Amino acid sequence: MQNKVKKVVVAGGGTAGWMAAALLSKTMGRTVEIVLVESDEIPTVGVGEATIPPLMTFHNILGIDEREFMAEVNGTFKLGISFQNWRQNEHEYLHSFGYAGKDCWACSFIHFWLAGKKQGINHPYGDYCAEILAAREGKFAVLPKGGMNYAYHMDAGKYAAYLRRLSEGWGATRQEGKITNVNLNPETGDIESLNLASGELVAGDFFIDCTGFRALLIEGALNTGFEDWSHWLPCDRAMAVQTESLGEPIPYTRSIAHDAGWQWRIPLQTRVGNGLVYSSKYLDDDAAEQLLRNNINGATLNDIKPIRFRTGTRRKHWNKNCLALGLASGFLEPLESTSIHMIQRSLIRFMQLFPSFGVQQSDIDEFNIQNKLEVERTRDFIILHYKVTEREDSDFWRYCKHMEIPAALEQKISLFRDSGRVFKIENELFGEESWMQVMMGQGIEPKSYHPIADVMSDNELEDFLASLRKSMRTNVDKLPSHQKFLDFYCKTKS
């Protein structure tokens, strides 16, 4: 059969564009021509520096060497996110990438932990999780056989440049130019070509819209529609700025809640990324800028960059012969660093359904069904952080605490509150452990636990829990400091 999709045009060269170009050129570069169009006149969004562990899978497909990548992107390791002031002011918890204790076939470790608590064994849940202990002590090492679950903090601009170099090495070509028009076939409505300001025309068989919030193809040309989720995720603005590092980088992201939003701190090897995410309904821009300035450490390295966004999703991420990736496909918000992951998931799903012999509606529908489910479950996980709070000290938090939430999330919270149970559904990004760590961190105490945890005698349970704590402690004691490991493993060139 003749390959009908012979040329894929990627519009936009931010993180999304270069991730697409890299994966397509690495895996299909011999049979499909890949052209990426981007404009030096239009900057990328310039944020997106915290990731989650599955990025490693993407890098494995590309054959990326972790040490080279980390040195190239000024990278540090991330064991999770510390949430400060989310449950209430002065309260803090860690959502780590680790798994606490040992699960059994019928229930997860938390049930044994709850049974221990009933007996008066009051060690924090984090004492059973190596990633939480290591994060708190500023330690890190890449261990064999996935002994430590981690992700990366990186410089977004350097990451795109790194992927560009790889993509061009694998045969993708970059075309400089500002897209001024998207031409549709008058009969099918498919995209045929892009006009550039220079007068050039870039034609293709399939188009990937990575033009960021502008969404020039998927929305500008195809009018796909947008589902607004701002009633659940009310933050709609951000301000971002980089600062000098004042000390050793910590191996986790910090998320610090304020009265009308929250602030991130992402430590890189030689600088810190900072930003405030807020709701313009509850905080004006001048006050937001002042709040950010008052809450950063170290001299600023650039001007504060304001960013406006709308939380929600494109009604279809694949429409006709166009796939939307990254910010062009929608945006939840950066709280759990899920955006880059969504790019990766969409790309892999697209590759699984690659329309070699022409775009078929059944492929498009399958893609959109799977994608929608995953995006909605991720959205619910983020809403959880806002909804389950004890804070009522500002209009913003009162709104979040009392807002109505999606039914699936309501069910997940009720089940955990009643019995400590959580089940991961197919295609869901966050697993049981993540849900549990955040639900407990935000203040939900399960009313009961699985009866299997009572099968052990009190002494047996005490010994079991003590042996787990001991083994975590021994493992973490052996780790070097995060800084020491960075210096040895992947010291940056910048």
| 3 state DSSP class of 78 | strand
Give Cβ neighbours of residue 470 (< 8 Å, ≥ 6 apart). none
Q: What are phi and psi of 58, to 5 degrees?
A: -60, -45
**Interacting residues with ligand FAD between 97 and 136 (CB under 6 A):** none
Shortest Cβ 324–ligand FAD spacing (Å):
9
Q: Which is nearer to ligand FAD, 343 or 444 (CB)?
A: 343
Q: Is 39 in the site for ligand FAD (CB under 6 A)?
A: yes
Q: Which of 23, 28, 44, 428 binds ligand FAD (CB under 6 A)?
A: 44
**The one among 238, 296, 359, 384 contacting ligand FAD by CB under 6 A:** 238
C-beta of residue 312 within 8 angstroms of C-beta of residue 327:
no
Which residues share a beta bridge with 253? 81
* Stretch touching ligand FAD by CB under 6 A, among 67-75, 208-216, 434-442, 445-453: 208-216
Among 14, 101, 234, 441, binds ligand FAD (CB under 6 A): 14
Nearer to ligand FAD, 109 or 350 (CB): 350
Under rule CB under 6 A, residue 233 binds ligand FAD: no
Examine residue 42 and tell whether it contacts ligand FAD (CB under 6 A).
yes
Which region among 67-75, 123-131, 337-345, 459-467 touches ligand FAD (by CB under 6 A)?
A: 337-345
CA distances from 318 to 29, 194, 270, 325, 480 (A): 21, 18, 39, 9, 46
Least gap, CB of 316 to ligand FAD (angstroms): 17
Determine which residue in the list 67, 214, 417, 469 makes contact with ligand FAD, applying CB under 6 A: 214
Binding ligand FAD (rule: CB under 6 A), the pick from 116, 267, 334, 441 is 334
| CA nearest to 108, candidates 449, 413, 427, 473 | 449
Residue with smaller CB distance to ligand FAD, 347 or 465: 347
Distance in angstroms (rounded) separating the CA atoms of residues 235 and 400:
11
Minimum CB separation from ligand FAD for residue 234, in Å?
Answer: 15
Give the residue, chosen from 5, 8, 15, 233, that forms a contact with ligand FAD under the rule CB under 6 A: 15
CA-CA distance, 204 to 209, in Å (whole number)?
Answer: 13
* Residues contacting 154, CB < 8 A, separation 6+: 49, 51, 70, 73, 74, 75, 268
Question: How many residues contact ligand FAD, by CB under 6 A?
Answer: 37
| Identity of the amino acid at 53 | P
Task: Tell me how far apart the alpha carbons of residues 450 and 453 are, in angstroms, rounded to a whole number.
Answer: 6
Residue 437 engages ligand FAD in binding (rule: CB under 6 A): no
Task: Name residues contacting ligand FAD, limited to 166-185 (CB under 6 A).
Answer: 178-179
Residue from 5, 22, 28, 47 binding ligand FAD (CB under 6 A) = 47
Q: How many residues does the chain have?
A: 494
Q: Which range, of 6-14, 372-380, 422-430, 472-480, touches ligand FAD by CB under 6 A?
A: 6-14
Interface positions, 300-319, toward ligand FAD (CB under 6 A): 307, 309
Stretch of residues binding ligand FAD (CB under 6 A), selected from 211-219, 359-367, 445-453, 478-486: 211-219
Judged by beta carbon, residue 216 or residue 479, the one nearer ligand FAD is: 216
Q: For ligand FAD, which is the closer residue by CB, 346 or 442? A: 346
Question: Closer CB to ligand FAD, residue 71 or residue 179?
Answer: 179
- Give the integer Cα–Cα distance in Å for 402 and 396: 10
Place of tokens 């078929």: 360
CA distances from 358 to 277, 352, 362 (A): 42, 14, 11
Q: Which two tokens stand for residue 397?
A: 């938090």
- Under the binding rule (CB under 6 A), the answer on residue 275 touching ligand FAD is yes
Toward ligand FAD, which CB reaches closer, 13 or 116? 13
For residue 38, give the 3-state DSSP assignment: strand
Q: Give residue 48's Cα distance to chain centre.
A: 8
Q: Provide the 8-state DSSP code for 487.
A: H
Cα–Cα distance for residue pair 260/154, rounded to 1 Å: 27
Q: Which of 337, 344, 389, 442 binds ligand FAD (CB under 6 A)?
A: 337
Q: Phi then psi for 45, rounded to 5 degrees?
A: -65, -25
Residue listed under structure tokens 């999606």 = 406
Give the DSSP letter string of 126-161. Answer: GGG-HHHHHHHTTB--PPGGG-S--EEE--HHHHHH
What is the nearest approach in angstroms of ligand FAD to the Cβ of residue 303?
15
Alpha-carbon gap, residue 392 to 399, rounded angstroms: 8
Q: Give the interface with ligand FAD as residue ranges (CB under 6 A).
A: 12-17, 37-39, 42, 44-45, 47-51, 156, 178-179, 210-212, 214, 216, 238, 240, 275, 307, 309, 326-328, 334, 337, 339-340
